[in-house]
Amino acid sequence: MQNSSEGWENRRRFLRWLMASPLLAYSGLSYGSVGRLLASGGQDGQRAAETIEKVRQDADLITKPEQALNVMDFEAVARKTLPPAHFGAIVGGVDDDATVRANREGFSRIQIRARRLVDVQKIDMSVRLFGTAWDSPIILAPVGGQKAFHPDGEIAVAKAARSKGHLQILSTATSSSVEAVIAARGVPVWYQLYPTNVWNVTQALIKRAEAAGCPVLVLTVDVEGGHNRETAERFARMDSRNCDTCHGSAQNRQNGFLLRRKPMFEGLDVSDVTASDPKFMNWDFVKRLKDLTTMKFVIKGIVTRDDAQLAVENGVDGIIVSNHGGRGENSGRSTIESLPEVVEGAGGKIPVLVDGGFRRGTDVFKALALGAKGIAIGRPYIYGLAAFGQSGVETVLDILRRELQTIMRQAGTTSVDKITAAYLVDRSR
């Protein structure tokens, strides 16, 4: 029989394992609450550990993409495959991950009103964005450093997007050049911009994307306030590798070390460059950026009616409703709940897209019904990438498209333009 100190040490080891497990999401516990259990050692912690241990024992990891029943199946494989620090970089949010959870919980407050006796033999999921037709409203959101999740990184994602006909948005922090990604994709991708504190460097990034053929520039504005990514830090502390070789010391990271390793910064002097500077983030800066390029100009990170109206007034061409997947702010408010007021603020003058917490075709349906013209996914395809490379990404897209087609048939909507708010009931009102 174990003595009390041995028993508690075993529970501590288990809870540390739990911190690295996507099963936490299914347990009803938050990362913050698990951290408190680690410190307490009480009976509640023991009971929680026993409950989740049973969940863990019942869970079977898929061994090939076609075994996946839904996109969440890839998360468990990614956790097993990736080093803790890399998994932590994508799975968590800020503070106690409240906004990450809110992004998922927001969908549960919206129900779908299904219509019957409609001929749904033919379903049209196509959409048009800035004059280009896409077979599906599902978009691959910008995620930086994808080679941290699979050796083929953004190239594998581009090939999957090409195979399945989806729009791809490339991050400034890409681990493959925009030229290489476009070559793999076969058509131009959109380019997401993190402006730097040095205008000439920001200008060079924009000009390079434009020269490569990118038709749309996506300015991200939701990370300027800084962030406290506790979950990522907890996972990093569990990682026994010496990461300084790849990422540099903390001091080097402040002096452009990471930027020098990013393909989009090749040939640029980044010795005094930081990835962003709050003093630049205002509407005057937006105008300055717009005047610099002929690309369509989209702002990613708008979550209120007021800012949507300002975006229209300042000549912005489109909006992505986003809270960075809960990784940029801890408002505790989901993007699906922010979407209606942003659509109202845009007034039909510019397209509104959305990301944040989308895991099901029904989630996509709800966003389309609330006025979104496109829905971007991030974590799901990254989990697919980490688990199985290009085929994992392709299967994630297949599953979401299949689920969207199913709910469109169940609801009696034969095309995306027929999906309206009349098909929803908002339980929060």
CA–CA separation, 86 and 175 (whole Å): 14
Q: Which of 357, 319, 311 is nearest to 337 (CA)?
A: 357
Residues 6 or more apart whose Cβ sits within 8 Å of residue 388: 64, 65, 74, 77, 395
pLDDT band at 201 (very low <50, low <70, confident <90, very high): very high
For residues 207 and 281, membership in a common domain is answered with: yes
The reply to whether 179 and 326 lie within a common domain is yes
Average of per-residue pLDDT across 53-70: 78
Smallest CA-to-CA distance from 150 within 92, 216, 83, 88 is with 83
Q: Does the residue 124 lie in any domain?
A: yes
Q: Is 93 part of any domain?
A: no
Where among 21, 39, 59 does a domain terminate?
A: 59
In a domain, 211, yes or no: yes
pLDDT digits (tens, 9 = 90+) for 146-189: 999 999 999 999 999 999 999 999 999 999 999 999 999 999 99
Q: Enumerate residues 6+ apart whose C-beta is below 8 A from 276.
A: 194, 195, 196, 197, 223, 224
Q: Both 205 and 338 in a single domain?
A: yes
In a domain, 101, yes or no: no
Write the single-letter amino acid at 319.
I
**Do 126 and 189 belong to one domain?**
yes
259 Rama class: left (phi>0) / alpha (psi -120 to 50) / beta: alpha
* Residue 68 counted as domain residue: no
Do 313 and 225 belong to one domain?
yes
Do 38 and 178 reside in the same domain of the chain? no
- For the chain, what is the domain count? 2
User: Mean pLDDT for the chain?
Assistant: 87
Cβ neighbors of 204 (< 8 A, separation 6 or more) are 268
Q: Are residues 8 and 124 in the same domain?
A: no
Total residue length of the chain? 429
Q: Is 324 a catalytic residue?
A: yes
Residue 168: inside a domain, yes or no? Answer: yes
User: pLDDT tens for residues 256-283?
Assistant: 445 667 999 999 988 888 876 777 789 9
Catalytic residue among 86, 150, 166, 324: 324
Q: From residue 88, give the alpha-carbon distance in Å to each of 21, 35, 122, 126, 214.
A: 10, 14, 42, 35, 31
% of the chain surpassing 70 pLDDT = 80
DSSP state letters, 107-163 = HHTEEE----S---SS-B--EEETTEEES-SEEE---S-GGGT-TTHHHHHHHHHHH
Q: Domain of 293: which CATH number?
A: 3.20.20.70
What would the mean pLDDT of 52-72 be, rounded to a whole number? 78
Q: How far apart are the first and last CA of the chain?
A: 55
Q: Are residues 181 and 112 in the same domain?
A: yes
**Number of CB atoms found within 10 A of residue 342's CB:** 27
On whether both 31 and 125 belong to a single domain, the answer is no
Q: How many CB atoms lie within 10 A of CB 207?
A: 12
As given in the structure block, the two tokens for residue 336 are: 């699906």
Taking residues 22-38, report their average pLDDT: 52
Q: Are residues 316 and 403 in the same domain?
A: yes
Q: Is residue 95 part of a domain?
A: no
pLDDT in tens, 292-339: 999 999 999 999 999 999 999 999 999 999 999 888 888 999 999 999
How high is the pLDDT of residue 227?
76
User: Could you tell me if 53 and 131 lie in one domain?
Assistant: no
pLDDT tens digit string along 118-142? Answer: 999 999 999 999 999 999 999 999 9
DSSP helix/strand/coil, 220: strand
**Ramachandran bin of 147, using left for φ above 0, alpha for ψ from -120 to 50, beta for the remaining angles:** alpha
Mean pLDDT for 213-228 is: 88
Domain containing 18: what range? 1-59
Q: 125 and 243: one domain?
A: yes
Residue 336 domain-assigned (yes or no): yes
